[in-house]
């Protein structure tokens, strides 16, 4: 998990009226029928500009056999951070919301937690107080709510929750809040024989529950923060795996590169991301030879989504945000910054 604190600092005003207006407007902006298989018709939710162009340039350079930067299909790897890159991460990481909402069920089984912090605060329902919980308390909550069950039980719980939970601003399932421009990039890369991977600070088991349905990414192509599991036998002699409260891979910062090495074993040609937790993954991608794209989503659209990081002039001392220092490294090293406001014609499929 990436630290949650910064996310909670951000503006939460629901701009639903404006959004409705924008949705109506964006529909008129979309071309009536886009020609298929030409760059003009691809990535229709993107405005023309350097970000869209960088994606086209990578694909052109790596699939053309006569190109000096040609890449064999089996080596075409693209990695995507999830929170803030593929879907909305505000006002909280979705998985943290899941964990918080599981607290009452956990306390019902373990009454002794009722008057113990941080569970007491969560049970109080005081969202401001929850937002102030330090990382170590959030880890306690994650460990208590997301481990100690079999992997099949976890999967079933997460699936049920995702079907019923709603994002407070849009009142829609969290899985609706994926960025349509990125869905188009995933498909475009796969159409060109790229293997697309999620490399997330979020929990691997959680993301795998919906990644195939939402992103077209199978479980084995989701790399995330992973806890240990423990093999055992039921009374009927049938084996099962239990989720243990022991961290195996902290898939943040340098852990993202270490996770890519362990789970993929190849250096990516494209990395899409949005925060300082992705810095090393971008550096690692950029240190390869040939054509490589390193892209950072800048959340600069308070109207249609949120504005935070350098775009909002927020303090940059927290991990998990797009800091000024990251922005500077991006400029220096030729990483491409995606402006949600300027580069994305449409943000959500439901608009």
CA–CA dist 268, 203 (Å, integer): 21
Q: How far is the CB of 145 from its own copies (least distance, A)?
A: 19
Q: How far is the CB of 72 from its own copies (least distance, A)?
A: 10
- Of the two residues 74 and 128, which places its CB atom closer to its own copies in the complex? 74
- Of the two residues 35 and 73, which places its CB atom closer to its own copies in the complex? 73
> Would residue 43 be called left, alpha or beta, if left means φ above 0 and alpha means ψ between -120 and 50 degrees?
left
CA–CA dist 135, 123 (Å, integer): 18
Closest CA to 214 of 168, 179, 189: 179
CA–CA dist 182, 69 (Å, integer): 24
Instruction: Count CA atoms closer than 13 A to 165's CA, side-chain side.
Output: 19
Q: How far is CA 177 from CA 170, 227, 267, 344, in A?
A: 9, 26, 29, 15
Do 57 and 291 touch, CB atoms closer than 8 A? yes
Q: How far is the CB of 279 from its own copies (least distance, A)?
A: 10
- Of the two residues 85 and 229, which places its CB atom closer to its own copies in the complex? 229
Closest CA to 91 of 158, 199, 167: 167
Q: How far is the CB of 158 from its own copies (least distance, A)?
A: 13
- Of the two residues 97 and 151, which places its CB atom closer to its own copies in the complex? 151
Q: Which two tokens stand for residue 244?
A: 């243990």
- Of the two residues 91 and 203, which places its CB atom closer to its own copies in the complex? 203
Closest CA to 199 of 173, 176, 225: 225
CA–CA dist 203, 212 (Å, integer): 15
What sign for the dihedral angle of Cα 49, 51, 56, 57?
Answer: positive
- Of the two residues 221 and 274, which places its CB atom closer to its own copies in the complex? 221
Q: How far is the CB of 36 from its own copies (least distance, A)?
A: 25
Do 87 and 94 touch, CB atoms closer than 8 A? yes
Q: How far is the CB of 215 from its own copies (least distance, A)?
A: 13
Dihedral pair phi/psi, residue 71, rounded to 5°: -125, 130
Q: How far is the CB of 209 from its own copies (least distance, A)?
A: 10
- Give me the residue label for tokens 């990483």: 335
CA–CA dist 207, 81 (Å, integer): 11
- Of the two residues 45 and 175, which places its CB atom closer to its own copies in the complex? 175
Q: How far is the CB of 330 from its own copies (least distance, A)?
A: 15
Residue ranges binding its own copies (CB under 8 A) = 74, 151, 195, 204-205, 208, 212, 218-220, 222, 226, 228-231, 238-239, 241, 248-249, 254, 257-258, 261-266, 280, 283-284, 287
- Of the two residues 10 and 249, which places its CB atom closer to its own copies in the complex? 249
């Amino acid at each position: 998990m990436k630290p949650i604190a910064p996310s909670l600092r951000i503006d939460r005003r629901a701009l639903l009226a404006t959004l409705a207006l924008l949705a109506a407007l964006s529909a008129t902006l979309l071309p009536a029928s886009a020609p298929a298989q030409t760059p003009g018709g691809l990535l229709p939710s993107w405005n023309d500009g350097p970000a869209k162009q960088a994606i086209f340039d990578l694909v052109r350079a790596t699939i053309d056999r006569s190109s000096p930067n040609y890449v064999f299909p089996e080596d075409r790897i693209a990695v995507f951070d999830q929170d803030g890159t593929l879907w909305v991460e505000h006002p909280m990481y979705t998985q943290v919301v899941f964990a918080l909402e599981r607290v009452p069920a956990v306390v019902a089984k373990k009454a002794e937690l009722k008057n113990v912090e941080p569970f007491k605060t969560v049970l109080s329902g005081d969202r401001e107080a929850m937002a102030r919980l330090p990382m170590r308390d959030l880890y306690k909550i994650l460990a208590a709510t997301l481990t100690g069950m079999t992997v099949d039980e976890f999967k079933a719980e997460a699936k049920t929750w995702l079907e019923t939970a709603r994002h407070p601003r849009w009142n829609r399932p969290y899985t609706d809040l994926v960025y349509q421009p990125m869905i188009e990039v995933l498909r475009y890369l796969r159409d060109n024989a790229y293997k697309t991977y999620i490399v997330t600070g979020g929990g691997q088991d959680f993301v795998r529950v919906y990644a195939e349905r939402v992103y077209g990414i199978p479980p084995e192509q989701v790399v995330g923060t992973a806890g240990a599991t423990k093999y055992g036998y039921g009374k009927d002699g049938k084996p099962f795996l239990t989720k243990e409260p022991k961290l195996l891979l902290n898939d943040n910062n340098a852990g993202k590169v270490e996770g890519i090495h362990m789970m993929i074993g190849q250096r990516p040609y494209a990395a899409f991301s949005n925060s300082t937790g992705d810095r090393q993954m971008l550096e690692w991608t950029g240190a390869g030879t040939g054509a490589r794209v390193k892209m950072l989503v800048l959340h600069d659209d308070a109207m249609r989504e949120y504005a935070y990081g350098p775009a909002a002039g927020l303090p940059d001392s927290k991990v998990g945000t797009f800091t000024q220092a990251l922005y500077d490294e991006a400029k220096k090293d030729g990483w491409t910054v995606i402006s949600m406001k300027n580069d994305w014609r449409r943000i959500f499929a439901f608009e």
